[in-house]
Amino acid sequence: MKPVLCVFGTRPEAIKMAPVVRRLRETGAPYKVAVTAQHRGMLDQVLDIFEIVPDYDLNLMTPNQSLADLNARCLTGLNRVIAECDPVCVVGQGDTTTVFASALAAFYRGVPFAHVEAGLRSGDLRSPFPEEFNRVAASKLASLHFAPTDLAHHTLLREGIDPTAILMTGNTVIDAVEIARARVEPMTLPEFDAFGLITVHRRENFGQPVENIIAAIREIALARPGFGFIWPVHPNPNIKNRVHEALGELPNVFLREPLDYREFLSALSGASIALSDSGGVQEEAPTLKTPVLVLRTETERPEGVTAGAALLIGVERTAIIENTLRLIDDAQARKAMMVERSPYGDGQSAGRIVHALANRYLGGSDAVGRAS
């Protein structure tokens, strides 16, 4: 029986694909894993935690890589992998350069592509950049679409996707949180009353938006010395150098290297608030009942905002200061953002995805069981 080929390259992809790989392994379905290592060190952390050993490792990461070079190397490398593996289908997740190259390479070789977390849209092809283009293009090339929410499902229908090719599954990140959180304790900072967690990495926030965020955090930290901040600083020099230069000496701002996934969940579950431009944090925070202030001007994950678990505040200094201070000072405002049920899933998404893959490409669940 030909295998399912799971492809990913970044830490967020690995986190969201790990439950699918785990479920394939549990059911005895034939599968292979290929990683591009678009993010090398941060990817390896997740592979270790979820005990995934890639069958193919392209190891493509280079310092200050351009999108064009990365995409070309991903496409060429994945074309070779697909030719060698001869999979029944290729499965990719999300909106990275890796997922776009995976979908295109599969299309060129006539292999079906299944898209996990399909149907997210900001409506602006250049924001987030290049993610909005990547996921739109992946949808055009996919044969099977795993929509994480009703909104994503309806978006795909509006775009003319065959309804029989769409399955609303929930988001696999909730599966990953539930798997990993059992082995973590919420982080505390004993010397501070409470703390906030900050993550910033998006390209569209490089430059003045990052300067605004840094200035706002500095002003808040000075105004509330009893409140701490943990900032696992993204290694991109566009962010790292400026953050350390501007905030490194503040006693209540703790600048860290990127945390592994368990450490990150520990910090996120222990934090009073999160400030982030990350899509994953918008999904993870409601599950852990941590209010999240979204450092973007638009989001392709409005479900958290609608549910009241997230607030879209943009990247202007004044708005960041005002909204953050309000949540620091007002326990009732924080409590109001702790939703009882995540709008992104129930932790059973991977099972639905693997069941659909088995029925569509592997001869059904009974055939998978016999093959194992």
Sign, CA torsion 335/336/337/338 = positive
Cα–Cα distance for residue pair 277/101, rounded to 1 Å = 24
Determine which one of 57, 117, 132, 283 is catalytic. Answer: 117
Structural contact between residues 222 and 248, judged by C-beta atoms closer than 8 angstroms = no
Determine which one of 25, 40, 109, 203 is catalytic. Answer: 203
Annotation marks residue 355 as catalytic:
no
Q: What is the DSSP string of 227-276?
A: EEEEEE--S-HHHHHHHHHHHTT-TTEEEESPPPHHHHHHHHHH-SEEEE
Determine which one of 13, 57, 131, 277 is catalytic. Answer: 131
Structural contact between residues 119 and 152, judged by C-beta atoms closer than 8 angstroms = yes
Question: Which residues, other chains included, contact 298 with Cβ-Cβ below 8 Å and sequence gap of 6+?
Answer: 122, 123, 124, 127, 312
Angle between helix axes 97-108 and 67-85 (nearest 10 degrees) is 40
Annotation marks residue 95 as catalytic:
yes
CB atoms within 10 A of CB 2: 14
Annotation marks residue 154 as catalytic:
no
Annotation marks residue 181 as catalytic:
no
Annotation marks residue 234 as catalytic:
yes
Determine which one of 234, 296, 301, 317 is catalytic. Answer: 234
Check residue 123 and report its DSSP letter.
S
Annotation marks residue 153 as catalytic:
no
Determine which one of 95, 175, 277, 300 is catalytic. Answer: 95
Q: Give the residue numbers marked as catalytic.
A: 95, 117, 131, 201, 203, 234
